[in-house]
């Protein structure tokens, strides 16, 4: 296989507070804030007012990164938020330029770095397919030829003539990914956009990326979902503070990364989060207990696992809903629950104030093993699908272990579930 991406000693530096946001209006906003000693409203990094300007603070998003990607390779890129993953993909996609170093790319690149990048909210799904396709480099004839296939893949055919501002977040990302995936690129760059899709669509996208890899296409995938990375990628890169900490076999890299992240989680039965009045609602605390209310991380498969959440609502939210997931240690989801599974949704129209949410995993549900708990909430009516609450690293808040004592031996039950079935002999 030939090399399609060669990166040599690549570095990217950002200076906090520097003007140059792309429009005169935003530059004037930033300049006015600077003159008044206020925080720059256009800065993606929150800084103390005036401090960055006086010291000329700089951030190295990437530092001396060297990497080769082969034709037909599916490469996973993992790391904590702020590790430099998105910056690397933006340089590969030619959205931004490196401060120093060299990058050579051979082939046509299609990138999906943010949900609906290039979409216009007032236009319909049909119109946005043509608009976004043109932005990504597709000709009008090419878009027309692939239009039905794009719509069928996205699954939003019933709403294709509806303005996308009325789409749910899932519909939005379905259509955005469908357009990018049908660009027929030599290199497909995907940055954590599958997180808002449902499980069925995630598997559909993974299958599409797998098909492209088998056709000799190259895929670069950033995700906090270790299960998806493990399923799709043979090779993986772990970025930490802008540098490559480890690269190689996916299972080995993910194992090292999870061990690094799991140090704090393994010793905690509860976790708390600082108040953030800027969000309409947020999780303030979470804890694991047994059915007697005793804090613990170690359970038997024969007892329930109780997760208690302290949830704060700062502003009234319409259509608020919650997402709860239990995953294996490698990030593979094994149980997913939405608050709207309950009728009516208990989180919808929660009043301002503090609320206690209790979620119980019944006995004999999961097999023995180590698990992580993930939680987030969102509202489609809040600033166009901006998450009301989200925790870093894929929403992971706690972890726990299950032990199966039913056999009385050291035998480990395979599979996912520990439900005991009745055997009736007639």
pLDDT digits over 78-88, tens only? 988 788 998 99
| pLDDT tens string 165-205 | 888 777 887 888 888 778 777 888 887 765 555 666 766 77
pLDDT digits over 1-54, tens only?
688 899 999 999 887 655 455 556 666 777 777 677 666 666 554 444 444 333
Q: Domains of the chain (ranges plus CATH)?
A: 3-9+64-260 (3.40.50.300), 17-56 (no CATH), 270-403 (2.70.50.60)
Please tell me the predicted confidence (pLDDT) of residue 385. Answer: 41
- pLDDT of 236 reads 93
Confidence band for 382, pLDDT divided at 50, 70 and 90 = low
What CA–CA distance (Å, rounded) separates 230 from 254?
8
> According to the model, what pLDDT value does residue 47 have?
42
CA atoms within 13 A of residue 135's CA, in its CB half-sphere: 18
> How high is the pLDDT of residue 395?
61
Residue bearing the bigger pLDDT, 316 or 272: 272
Residue 213 confidence (pLDDT) above 90: no
- Give the other-Cβ count within 10 Å of 401's Cβ: 14
pLDDT score for 266: 52
**What is the mean predicted confidence (pLDDT) over 48-66?**
65
**417: nearest Cα among 360, 337, 334, 329:** 334
Q: Report pLDDT for 137.
A: 77
> What pLDDT score does 49 carry?
41
Each residue of 235-253: pLDDT tens digit?
A: 999 999 899 999 999 888 8
What average pLDDT score do residues 356-385 get?
82
The pLDDT tens digits of the residues spanning 321-334 come to 888 989 887 677 88
Q: Is 216 left (phi over 0), alpha (psi -120 to 50) or beta?
A: left
Question: What local confidence, expressed as pLDDT, does residue 196 receive?
Answer: 52
Q: Which ranges of 242-350 does DSSP label H, i.e. alpha helix? A: 250-265
User: Which pair of tokens denotes residue 275?
Assistant: 């108040």
Q: What is the residue-averaged pLDDT of the chain? A: 80
- Find the mean pLDDT for residues 133-156: 88
Give me the phi and psi of 208, to 5 degrees please.
Answer: -65, -45
Cβ count near 396 (within 10 Å) = 20
Element (H, E) at 70: strand 58-70
What SS3 class is residue 125?
helix
Is residue 57 pLDDT above 70, yes or no? Answer: no
């Amino acid at each position: 296989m030939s090399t399609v991406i060669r990166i040599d000693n690549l570095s990217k530096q950002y200076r906090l507070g520097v003007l140059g946001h792309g429009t005169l209006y935003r530059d004037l906003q930033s300049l006015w804030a600077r003159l008044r000693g206020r925080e720059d409203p256009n800065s993606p990094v929150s800084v103390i007012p005036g401090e960055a300007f006086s010291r000329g603070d700089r951030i190295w998003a990437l530092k001396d990164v060297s990497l080769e990607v082969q034709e037909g390779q599916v490469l996973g890129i993992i790391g904590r938020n702020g590790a430099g993953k998105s910056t690397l993909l933006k340089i590969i996609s030619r959205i931004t330029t490196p401060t120093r170093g060299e990058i050579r790319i051979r082939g046509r690149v299609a990138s999906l770095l943010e949900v609906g990048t290039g979409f216009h909210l007032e236009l319909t799904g049909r119109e946005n397919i043509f608009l976004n396709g043109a932005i990504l480099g597709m000709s009008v004839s090419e878009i027309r030829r692939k239009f039905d296939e794009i719509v069928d893949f996205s699954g939003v055919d019933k709403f294709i003539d509806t303005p996308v501002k009325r789409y749910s977040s899932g519909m939005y990302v379905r259509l955005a990914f469908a357009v990018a995936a049908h660009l027929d690129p030599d290199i497909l760059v995907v940055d954590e956009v599958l997180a808002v899709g449902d499980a069925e669509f995630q598997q559909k996208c993974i299958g599409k990326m797998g098909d492209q890899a088998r056709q000799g296409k190259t895929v670069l995938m950033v995700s906090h979902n270790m299960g998806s990375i493990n399923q799709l990628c043979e090779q993986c890169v772990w970025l930490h503070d802008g540098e490559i900490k480890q690269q190689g076999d996916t299972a080995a890299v993910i194992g090292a990364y999870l061990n690094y992240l799991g140090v704090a989680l393994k010793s905690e039965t509860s976790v708390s989060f600082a108040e953030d009045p800027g969000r309409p609602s947020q999780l303030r605390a979470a804890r694991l207990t047994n059915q007697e209310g005793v804090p613990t991380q170690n359970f038997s498969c024969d007892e329930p696992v109780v997760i208690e959440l302290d949830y704060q609502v700062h502003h009234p939210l319409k259509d608020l809903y919650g997402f709860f997931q239990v995953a294996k240690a490698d990030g593979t989801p094994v149980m997913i629950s939405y608050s709207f599974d309950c009728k009516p949704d208990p989180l919808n129209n929660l009043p301002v104030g503090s609320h206690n949410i209790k979620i119980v995993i019944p006995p004999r549900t999961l097999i023995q093993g180590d698990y992580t708990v993930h939680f987030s909430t969102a509202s489609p009516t809040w600033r166009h699908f901006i998450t009301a609450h989200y925790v870093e690293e894929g929403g992971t808040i706690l972890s726990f272990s299950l032990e199966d004592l039913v056999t009385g031996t050291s035998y480990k039950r395979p599979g996912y579930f520990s439900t005991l079935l009745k055997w009736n002999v007639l």
